Structure 1
Amino acid sequence: MAKCENCGQSMPEPTKYNLRPELVSALVKVYAAGGEALQRSDLDLTNTEYASFRKLTYWGLIENTTLPDGTVSQRLWSITEIGIRFIEAGERIPSAVMAKGGQYLYGTGPFVGIGDALPNAVELGLVAA
């Protein structure tokens, strides 16, 4: 484990997160539900989708919703423009990201589209056969 240069305290190493099918499936559920100001509990997510949902922020696919008064809700989620383009237009994104302390660091691995990241994308009508 790395040490902080200033205080010598142990710091966590960056962690690699792969764009797994359950993440893409959760994103599709956000999109299908309208994409704006949604609670995770309203999306009929599987346990795995629910537990890993927040990781979609590492790719910039979802974000916390900004309320009319300008505050950012920690409970409401919205799909981003990148998330919409990933689903609708086949935008390609990194297949993995590196993050540390809940913060995105950088993308890594080959770029993938929704058809690469979600094996049943054709069956769901998200990509052409």
Structure 2
Amino acid sequence: MLKEAGAKEVHMRIASPPMIASCYYGVDTASPEELISNRMSVEEIRDYIGCDSLAFLEFDSLKKMLGQDSPDFCYACFSGNYPVLPKEVIVKRVGDFVDDGLSGSIDSIQGGWVQGPPVDDDSELVAPLAG
């Protein structure tokens, strides 16, 4: 559109990392399949939107900018790592057990989710995007 209006070049900069995953915590985002950054590389997106260059804020730069508060923020939409898996992602049956998401940690066993022992270290609660 800008080139049609006479621009010789169009350079696009996005002030966030690419969103590759849905937010299950209250931000209304599309499913991962609908997020262009989940489906295409930066070069493919650049060609798709018809600009000469495209760049996103680097994920590490975002965390550096936020400084010491960085661990307190959720980055799931940028990384696919959810601090706590949302119930709609983890509800898979193992026998007659369905995790209620209310207590304990969640460990994957043979493609199902079961309730594990409580953990003291929050890092054990981070889980990769379930696919």
TM, length-normalised to structure 1 = 0.26
**Structure number with bigger Rg:** 2
Task: Choose between structure 1 and 2: higher strand proportion.
Answer: 1
